[in-house]
């Protein structure tokens, strides 16, 4: 997702089941959707992009009045690990808002200051969300069906919280060995949470994220099924999805995948059937208020993509801008990393205060738009849409475990977004929003990629709050974004400047090609960096990923004294104030324009350079090329002498700008 810069009638649903396991007591089901080649799910099919080991047929019915859904799903799952398991584990994410003792709400209350929205601390009864499995039947491939409903239990693998019901388990009748295949039929009901993080309802707008019972990931070391945490996202295996969504007639639907069929039912509802291959999640939205627009993305070197926008009526007129941002993402990420592998994408313009903005799903994402969107302010919708488009590469196709390594999707995407913003020369000025974020005021302060694109103001105050190698769900909830998003973006940009863009681009395209439709771990990324760059960058990853230390180099002193022969002895003292180390240039400029450049490995606490020159030094600067973007205080990186009033004035005004900007960020003005 893209976190803002803020600190801060249920009618019987029908089941389209595989084989002979369809329920018989329902209304006549609509015809089965076409299948994506998963009839035989007990063996991997040749030539599919992903392993397709977690496949879903889902039928869900929305009751917009009672804010409920009723669903049935058939999961065809294959054990692609080397482990044998005696149970199955599932995520029931909506239970994060079931009671005030859920781990999600507990973690949210740990944030300080208090959450901006009271419902993030406790939830009124009409704001809760639930997911209740009412039936679960399991059929080993070629075996007999067992009803396991009575054996449902809840796990809390991360914190032992007995009140948390976001992970469910059932014991298998017989262990599933490597290669074993199991069919799981689930019936469930869900209470749709009110405007929760990334999911829920507000007014006539419904966004369905993490809405269906979802099987965990079985790894060689066992199940990886984390609870729903405040600061982290998700992890799932790839598969083929066939999903039927029944909504009131006239409601528009957007979803992962491609719409295959639309059937108007006698009761006034409409069933929309979507199909998606090789995705690890499925999100959808519905509202009668959306304006629907379509445009094509065409590019000489890239496959065409059909873009669809579901726009809120109050944002009419922003169509071209929103499409252009998505197209910029498809173009640049496609050229840098590898082509977008799906033929269509849906941009959802979320309802005001739905809290579903800036969130990614395969082939679908939500943007972020403001009612007044000045052309010179690109944070929303432009940058958010580019960021969410970027997640199609990192999260969607290269699907790392977001619970444990959130930096791999969020940090890399934040870095890549800033790069597109710079490459496309989108103007981005500071906007101060007042009156409930409605009215923007732009004081003419231009935001830079180096600082704001990489989110230095978000990183700096929490630079040492967590070590990135800590599983992300254990990060301190208030400052998790500083590490997952901002620190990573800063070190990725530092790496880009250290290696040069051509090498960095090759690193990223190699990483994408090697790990697409798979689950890379941090070491897999580091290995690609080392291999492609031809350097052992372990020292760098030790500093930026395996440590919580921060960087700060400073000019401690610049002394000038007369020396023999009428010369001047210039003594430059450079200092390392932070605990982290990085090689930096120390550049001294003399009054005759000559420069002395020293390459300091940056390891000692201090280094002294002495020059005997005919003229005095006018300036010393550490890292004048701004390679080390992680330096938390750049104002101490240089010293100029003699101090000139104009320079001082400029420096003072720059410092004031930084102060003003950080005040605004602290006050949560960025929206």
Closest of 102, 93, 97, 92 to residue 119, by C-alpha:
97
Binding mask 261-290 for Zn ion (x = CB under 5 A): ------------------------------
Interatomic CA distance for residues 43 and 407, integer angstroms:
33
C-beta of 224 vs 413, nearer to Zn ion: 413
Concatenated DSSP letters for 106-172? HHHHHSSS--SSGGGT---GGG--EEEEEEEEEEETTS--EE-GGG-EE--TTT--TT--SEEEEEE
Find the part of the chain contacting Zn ion (CB under 5 A) among 182-190, 224-232, 405-413, 590-598. 405-413
Closest of 89, 225, 91 to residue 166, by C-alpha:
91
Q: Which residues contact 476 (CB under 8 A, 6 or more apart)?
A: 110, 462, 465, 466
Cα–Cα separations (whole angstroms), residue 110 to 474, 478, 665: 12, 8, 21
C-beta of 103 vs 414, nearer to Zn ion: 414
How far is residue 121 CA from its own chain's centroid? 23
Find the part of the chain contacting Zn ion (CB under 5 A) among 22-30, 404-412, 536-544, 613-621. 404-412
438: which 2 tokens?
A: 């409605």
Least Cβ distance, residue 410 to Zn ion (angstroms): 5
Least Cβ distance, residue 397 to Zn ion (angstroms): 14
Binding mask 481-520 for Zn ion (x = CB under 5 A): ----------------------------------------
C-beta of 180 vs 421, nearer to Zn ion: 421
Least Cβ distance, residue 386 to Zn ion (angstroms): 11
351: which 2 tokens?
A: 């309802």
Q: Which residues contact 160 (CB under 8 A, 6 or more apart)?
A: none
C-beta of 81 vs 414, nearer to Zn ion: 414
9: which 2 tokens?
A: 């009638």
Concatenated DSSP letters for 318-353? -HHHHHHHHHHHHHHHHHHT----SSEEEEE-PPTT
Binding mask 323-352 for Zn ion (x = CB under 5 A): ------------------------------
Find the part of the chain contacting Zn ion (CB under 5 A) among 1-9, 125-133, 163-171, 580-588. 1-9
Find the part of the chain contacting Zn ion (CB under 5 A) among 2-10, 329-337, 543-551, 619-627. 2-10
Least Cβ distance, residue 457 to Zn ion (angstroms): 18
Binders of Zn ion in range 410-449 (CB under 5 A): 410
Least Cβ distance, residue 350 to Zn ion (angstroms): 15
Least Cβ distance, residue 472 to Zn ion (angstroms): 13
Least Cβ distance, residue 450 to Zn ion (angstroms): 20
C-beta of 1 vs 14, nearer to Zn ion: 1
Concatenated DSSP letters for 610-641? EEEESS-EEEEEESTT---TTBS-GGGSEEES
Cα–Cα separations (whole angstroms), residue 570 to 327, 564, 619: 54, 13, 11
Give strand pairing partners of 71: 60, 188
C-beta of 2 vs 493, nearer to Zn ion: 2
For the chain, give percent helix, strand, coil, nearest 5: 25, 30, 45
C-beta of 58 vs 326, nearer to Zn ion: 326
Interatomic CA distance for residues 323 and 309, integer angstroms:
8
Least Cβ distance, residue 78 to Zn ion (angstroms): 30
Closest of 26, 1, 31 to residue 14, by C-alpha:
26
Least Cβ distance, residue 489 to Zn ion (angstroms): 11
Closest of 367, 303, 350, 362 to residue 330, by C-alpha:
303
Least Cβ distance, residue 668 to Zn ion (angstroms): 19
Cα–Cα separations (whole angstroms), residue 414 to 346, 504, 515, 646, 667: 20, 15, 19, 36, 22
C-beta of 277 vs 410, nearer to Zn ion: 410
Find the part of the chain contacting Zn ion (CB under 5 A) among 162-170, 409-417, 457-465, 584-592. 409-417
C-beta of 274 vs 473, nearer to Zn ion: 473
Binders of Zn ion in range 198-237 (CB under 5 A): none
Residue listed under structure tokens 């579903």:
356
Least Cβ distance, residue 395 to Zn ion (angstroms): 7
C-beta of 481 vs 543, nearer to Zn ion: 481
How far is residue 212 CA from its own chain's centroid? 20
Least Cβ distance, residue 3 to Zn ion (angstroms): 7
C-beta of 240 vs 416, nearer to Zn ion: 416
Least Cβ distance, residue 5 to Zn ion (angstroms): 13
C-beta of 274 vs 670, nearer to Zn ion: 670
Interatomic CA distance for residues 405 and 507, integer angstroms:
19
Least Cβ distance, residue 406 to Zn ion (angstroms): 9
Rg for the chain (alpha carbons), in Å?
Answer: 27
Find the part of the chain contacting Zn ion (CB under 5 A) among 10-18, 324-332, 403-411, 642-650. 403-411
User: Are the C-beta atoms of 307 and 258 separated by less than 8 Å?
Assistant: no
Q: Is 2 in the site for Zn ion (CB under 5 A)?
A: yes
Find the part of the chain contacting Zn ion (CB under 5 A) among 326-334, 337-345, 406-414, 420-428. 406-414
User: Are the C-beta atoms of 51 and 278 separated by less than 8 Å?
Assistant: no
C-beta of 164 vs 410, nearer to Zn ion: 410
**Which residue of 1, 168, 309, 412 would you call a contact of Zn ion, by CB under 5 A?**
1
C-beta of 1 vs 169, nearer to Zn ion: 1
Binding mask 360-399 for Zn ion (x = CB under 5 A): ----------------------------------------
C-beta neighbour count of 519 within 10 angstroms? 20
List of residues contacting Zn ion (CB under 5 A) = 1-2, 410
């Amino acid at each position: 997702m893209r976190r803002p810069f803020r600190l801060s009638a249920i009618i019987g649903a029908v089941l389209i089941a595989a084989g002979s396991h369809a329920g018989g007591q329902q209304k006549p089901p609509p015809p089965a959707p076409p299948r994506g080649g998963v009839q035989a799910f007990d063996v991997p099919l040749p030539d599919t992009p992903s392993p397709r080991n977690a496949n879903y047929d889902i039928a869900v019915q929305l009751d917009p009045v009672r804010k409920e859904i009723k669903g049935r799903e058939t999961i065809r799952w294959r054990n692609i690990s080397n482990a044998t398991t005696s149970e199955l584990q599932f995520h029931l994410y909506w239970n994060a808002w079931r009671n005030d003792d859920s781990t999600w709400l507990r973690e949210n209350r740990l944030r300080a200051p208090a959450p901006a929205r009271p419902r993030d601390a406790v939830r009124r009864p009409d704001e809760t969300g639930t997911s209740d499995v009412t039936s679960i039947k399991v059929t080993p491939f070629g075996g007999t069906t067992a009803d396991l409903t009575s054996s449902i239990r809840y796990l809390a693998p991360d914190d032992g919280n007995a009140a948390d019901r976001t992970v469910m388990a059932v014991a298998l009748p017989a262990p599933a060995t490597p290669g074993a295949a199991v069919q799981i039929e689930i019936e469930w009901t869900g209470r749709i949470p009110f405007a929760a993080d990334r999911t829920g309802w507000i007014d006539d707008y419904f966004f369905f994220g993490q809405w269906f019972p979802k099987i965990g990931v079985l790894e060689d070391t066992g199940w990886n099924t984390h609870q729903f945490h405040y600061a982290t996202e998700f992890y799932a295996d790839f598969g083929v999805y066939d999903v039927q969504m029944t909504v009131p007639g006239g409601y528009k639907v957007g979803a992962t995948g491609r719409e295959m069929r639309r059937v108007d039912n006698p009761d006034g509802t409409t069933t929309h059937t979507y199909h998606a291959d090789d995705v690890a999640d499925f999100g959808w939205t519905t509202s009668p208020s959306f304006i629907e627009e379509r445009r094509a993305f065409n590019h000489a070197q890239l496959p065409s993509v059909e873009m669809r926008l579901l726009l809120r009526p109050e944002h009419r007129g922003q169509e071209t801008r929103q499409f252009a941002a998505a197209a910029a993402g498809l173009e640049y990420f496609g050229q840098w990393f590898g082509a977008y592998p799906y033929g269509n994408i849906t941009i959802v313009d979320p309802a005001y205060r739905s809290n579903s903005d800036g969130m990614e799903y395969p082939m679908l994402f939500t943007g972020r738009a403001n009612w007044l969107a000045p052309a010179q302010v690109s944070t929303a919708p432009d940058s958010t849409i580019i960021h969410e488009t970027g997640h199609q590469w990192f999260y969607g196709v290269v699907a790392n475990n977001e619970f444990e390594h959130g930096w791999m999707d969020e940090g890399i995407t934040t870095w890549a977004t800033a790069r597109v913003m710079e490459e496309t020369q989108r103007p981005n000025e500071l906007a101060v929003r007042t009156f409930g974020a409605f009215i923007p005021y732009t004081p003419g302060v231009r935001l830079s990629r180096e600082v704001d694109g990489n989110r230095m103001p978000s990183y700096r105050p929490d630079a040492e709050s967590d070590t990135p190698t800590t599983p992300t769900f254990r990060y301190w909830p208030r400052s998790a974004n500083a590490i997952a998003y901002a620190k990573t973006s800063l070190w990725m940009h530092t790496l880009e400047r250290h290696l040069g863009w051509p090498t960095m681009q090759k690193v990223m395209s190699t990483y994408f090609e090697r790990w697409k439709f798979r689950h890379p771990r941090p070491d897999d990324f580091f290995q690609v960096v080392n291999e492609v760059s031809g350097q052992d960058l372990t020292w760098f990853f030790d500093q930026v990923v395996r440590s919580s230390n921060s960087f700060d180099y400073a000019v401690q002193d610049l002394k000038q004294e007369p020396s023999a022969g009428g010369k001047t002895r210039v003594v430059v003292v450079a200092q390392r104030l932070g605990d982290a180390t990085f090689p930096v240039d120390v550049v001294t400029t003399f009054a005759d324009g000559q420069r002395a450049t020293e390459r300091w490995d940056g390891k000692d606490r201090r280094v002294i350079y002495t020059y005997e020159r005919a003229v005095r030094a006018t300036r010393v600067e550490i890292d004048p090329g701004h390679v080390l973007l992680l330096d938390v205080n750049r104002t101490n990186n240089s010293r100029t002498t003699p101090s000139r009033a104009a320079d001082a004035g400029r420096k003072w005004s720059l410092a004031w700008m930084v102060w003003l900007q950080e005040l605004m960020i602290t006050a949560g003005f960025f929206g």
